[in-house]
Structure 1
Amino acid sequence: MTTTAPSPRPAFREVTDANGRVYRIGESARDLLGGPRLLMVVLPWVAMMAISVAEYAFGSAEEVLSSAHGWSSTNTFWVLGFWTVFQAGVAFPTGRLRERGILKARGAMLVGAVLAGLGFFALSYAPNVALAILGFGVLGGAGAGMIYSTCVNIVGKWYPERRGGKTGFVNGGFAYGSVPMIFVFTYSFDAGNYRTVLDWVGVYVLVFVAICGWFFKDPPKNWWPEEVDPIEHSKNAGNKALSKNPPAVRQYEPMEAIRTGMLPLMWFCLVLCSGVSIFGISFQVPFAKEMGFGPLVAASSMGLMSIINGTGRGVTGWVSDRIGRKQTLIAVVLIEGLSQFGVLWAGDIRNEWLFLFFAFVSGFGGGAFFPMFASLTPDYFGENNNAQNYGLVYSSKLVGGLAGSGLGATVVAAWGYSGAYALAGCFGLVAAGLAMLLRQPGRPAPSRVRAKSLQVSGETA
């Protein structure tokens, strides 16, 4: 009997740039994946669309859930608040297990698929709020977080030379993937069928995420696409994306990234941004209904918000490759803050068209910052530890989630929608100010580089 010898593993070599950063070259994505690296964009995108229903469609289902289970509106939103906490909180431990080789990307996706699916079954059959929080909030949130963090950071690993647009595209699926269920929850979801609908949603999430996750695979440490010269890229030669977003000076471990001061600043900025975003996601439909808008306007405003929230992530990712990640982030967060005042004003004057317009603007600003932080993290700290570093940054959403959903419900009850939307808008403006302080660790500011160049020119003149 003859046996066929396995194909030899493609040779690779490591090169080092002027900053001491190592690049592993010689292996194509097809060698490592068995297919094009575009697979690591499409499959994460589909998985992100599948889990988006848990967050972005929850506000549309809240009224029926509260009525069917006999919960108060505030209690129901606390269920979402805990989901957000655990969805964000598992990002760092998941990343740490992945970077240490204990948990593969495929394993994280499969475990996440099971937990996320179980979350919807718990929401369907939980006899009280405490068990709903445990099942949907804790287990479902943790599963969604494992899926989200794995999908987002795997893209940057496979596209280290142009991650902005790709990361934004994948991240966008987490918003507009929920649009069909927003209308289902608004028009075809009631106390008589809510369990059937939630059960089918749970099956849908489990199956789609598991199928996509089966093909997930991380590249080797320091991997760089063979068709791109890493030394030229490190010099930003002839590449507009990298002239605006130069690669990290070196690969930072999590504690090293924290000590730069930039990771904590990103963390706090994302607390404010995510809190404002989740507040809008949670309360836009209830606010529209309280202002007397019909169910079509309420559902359309949330559907429009989700579509623009998602597509805006891809657009800003593409734009950030051209004008700079930090500059794009500042603009997006400024829009997010100002749009909260617009939504409030349109609701107060009972103008449906203005309400839909500001829902559009709010949706854009309330989602586009996520891929900016996801891309800034490896831009600042490198790709090798990105699962952990971005996990730390993204963990800020657990605070923002509680503030935006659970605490937001408390503020609405105490101050009304006027006070809550005004407070959210102010938080957005503060976040824009903080984003102006971000800078890449280890790389001198452009002004100092120019000053040094002028000094050298003067000495040689």
Structure 2
Amino acid sequence: MSTGNERSAAGTVAYREVSDSKGRVYRVGETDRDLLGHSRKLMVYLPWVAMMAISVSEYAYGSAEDTLSSAHGWTQSNTFWILSVWVFFQAGSAFPAGWLREKGILNARRATVLGAVLCLVGFVALAHLDNVFLAICGFGVIGGLGSGLVYATCINMVGKWFPERRGARTGFVNGGFAYGSLPFIFIFNYAFDTSDAAEVLDLIGVYVLIVVVVCAWFFKDPPKNWWPSEIDPLNYSGNRKSARSLAKNPPAVKQFTPMEAIRSGMLPLMWVTVVITAGVSIFGISFQVDFAKQVGFGPLVAATSMGLMAVVNGVGRAVVGWLSDLWGRKLTLFFVILVLGLAQFGVIWAGDIHSEWLFLVFAFLSGFGGGAFYPMFAALTPDYFGENYNATNYGLVYSGKLVSGLFGGGLGSMVVDAWGYNGAYALAGGISVVAAVIALLLRQPGRPRAAGIAPNPLPVSREAV
């Protein structure tokens, strides 16, 4: 095992690189404080705050639709398509953002600041543009790109700083993207009307800009192949909890380039699963408030159901991320998607019997399943393909959501018009169950199934550079 030197943010720090018999390289010796000047925990809390700030764009939008329609003279279909285009560009920006970051064109700080500025433009457009096409361009395209830049940067950065226990940390940060919208859900239901719509949206845009830019100022990625100095990557010793997580979720056998990840067959399978599951999740976000009102539940139940969905959606991501460190990612992912599918049938049942409390129960379960699968894919991607190309690889996986946005929102509206809410929810539940079955086919590329939880072989020396 050889050592070398590198100058980091904190000065000259010795490090060494070791590799196993498969060629997987680990860079050890530098602590998080050597590289950052402070604990890497800050690279969890700041991305979490930034994610909470941008969550209003998606998770509170459904509560603002009626007022937006009245203020601008839009139809319900117009407002659904604006959200669908936002989802398309929010998800579609993940891959180019990852590519730009890995090419060194955009670092984490610049990508996030740019995203915050674009989010502001999106809210200003939504506030002041009556023309549907211009609103789609402003909020849907520009605002979606901005949110996507912030989202992708926050998620990828956390995975790089916590390679040994990324499930819990990724889930915690990802959760902010849901429950951060909670105050705005109630604002849009109770203190948002045509008389103050523009002012409220302008203020929200400024809020997002300030919060995200302050967080982004401290963002920084670790060096490639970095591994925390207190954990031995070759035998997983040094920390009991980390060792248990690594046994269930062993590191990728090598650093897969995007093309190698695609050729493995696992990345396309993950993409298909995201398309289906995210579509069901977006459908629930878009239609739950309207369905509650349509079956005769009052505005308090409608708003509470959406607020409950947002809170559980976010908290569930953190809980499931922690759970995946214990159970393993694939088993946890199957469980989450199955819950999401069954919850759709529960919503139908609650509506049919006009039970408000039962409706809230299934809103709880739908929110749990509809958010918890996101951190699973965010953690599975580097688990399967490594950290060095994770921004691009995860961008490819997450891009499945851009297809989901079309059938979850806009096409979902068409299904509701044709089949009614019961038919649409039944279809959503059925395809979610199919996605759960597909998730069982996932496996880590290059690692024999029987040895899937075995520790890495003995190291092979490699000169540090």
TM-score interval, smaller chain = over 0.9
Structure 1: gaps (5+ residues): 1-5, 451-461
Give 2:188's aligned residue: 185
- 1:324 and 2:328 equivalent? yes
- 1:422 and 2:426 equivalent? yes
Amino acid at match of 1:222: N
Aligned residues: 445
Aligned match of 1:8 in 7, 11, 14? 11
Structure 1 residues 53 and 411 mapped into 2: Cα distance closer, same or farther (>3 Å)? same
Work out whether residues 341 and 430 of structure 2, in 8 Å CA contact, stay in contact via their aligned partners in 1.
yes
1-side partners of 2:299 and 2:92: how far apart?
A: 34
Residue-by-residue CA offset, 1:349-376 (whole Å, 9 max, x unaligned): 2110000010001000110000000000
Aligned match of 2:417 in 403, 407, 413? 413
- 1:93 and 2:96 equivalent? yes
Aligned match of 2:351 in 344, 347, 352? 347
Amino acid at match of 1:349: I
Q: Give how far 1:95 is off.
A: 0.3
TM-score, length basis structure 1: 0.94
Superposed counterparts of 1:130-145, under 5 Å: 130-145=133-148
Superposed counterparts of 1:226-265, under 5 Å: 226-233=229-236, 239-265=243-269
Give 2:3's aligned residue: none
- 1:34 and 2:44 equivalent? no
Question: Which moves more between the two structures, 24-33 or 236-245?
Answer: 236-245
Aligned match of 2:123 in 120, 125, 137? 120
Give 1:375's aligned residue: 379
Structure 1 residues 228 and 18 mapped into 2: Cα distance closer, same or farther (>3 Å)? same
Work out whether residues 333 and 365 of structure 1, in 8 Å CA contact, stay in contact via their aligned partners in 2.
yes
2-side partners of 1:427 and 1:155: how far apart?
A: 31
Amino acid at match of 2:424: A
1-side partners of 2:134 and 2:153: how far apart?
A: 27
Structure 2: gaps (5+ residues): 1-8, 455-465
2-side partners of 1:359 and 1:242: how far apart?
A: 33
What secondary structure does 1:230 align onto?
coil
What secondary structure does 2:236 align onto?
helix
- 1:284 and 2:299 equivalent? no
Amino acid at match of 2:161: W
Q: Give how far 1:65 is off.
A: 0.4
Q: Give how far 1:19 is off.
A: 2.0
Q: Give how far 1:135 is off.
A: 0.2
Q: Once superposed, what is the RMSD of the aligned Cα atoms?
A: 1.6
Residue-by-residue CA offset, 1:51-86 (whole Å, 9 max, x unaligned): 000100011000010111111101111000000000
2-side partners of 1:226 and 1:18: how far apart?
A: 21
Q: Give how far 1:279 is off.
A: 0.3
1-side partners of 2:17 and 2:145: how far apart?
A: 37
Work out whether residues 56 and 175 of structure 1, in 8 Å CA contact, stay in contact via their aligned partners in 2.
yes
Amino acid at match of 1:338: L
Structure 1 residues 220 and 184 mapped into 2: Cα distance closer, same or farther (>3 Å)? same
TM-score, length basis structure 2: 0.94
Residue-by-residue CA offset, 1:379-404 (whole Å, 9 max, x unaligned): 00000100000000000000011110
2-side partners of 1:427 and 1:96: how far apart?
A: 31
Work out whether residues 10 and 35 of structure 2, in 8 Å CA contact, stay in contact via their aligned partners in 1.
no
Q: Give how far 1:449 is off.
A: 9.9
Residue-by-residue CA offset, 1:412-432 (whole Å, 9 max, x unaligned): 111110111011001100100
Give 1:455's aligned residue: none
Amino acid at match of 2:282: I
2-side partners of 1:78 and 1:300: how far apart?
A: 24
Work out whether residues 11 and 34 of structure 2, in 8 Å CA contact, stay in contact via their aligned partners in 1.
no
Question: Which moves more between the two structures, 228-237 or 14-23?
Answer: 228-237
Q: Give how far 1:8 is off.
A: 3.5
1-side partners of 2:64 and 2:41: how far apart?
A: 35
Structure 1 residues 236 and 225 mapped into 2: Cα distance closer, same or farther (>3 Å)? closer
Aligned match of 1:163 in 157, 161, 166? 166
Give 1:273's aligned residue: 277
Work out whether residues 234 and 246 of structure 1, in 8 Å CA contact, stay in contact via their aligned partners in 2.
no
Aligned match of 1:446 in 433, 444, 450? 450
Structure 1 residues 222 and 160 mapped into 2: Cα distance closer, same or farther (>3 Å)? same
Aligned match of 1:221 in 220, 224, 231? 224
Aligned match of 1:148 in 142, 146, 151? 151
Work out whether residues 236 and 246 of structure 1, in 8 Å CA contact, stay in contact via their aligned partners in 2.
no
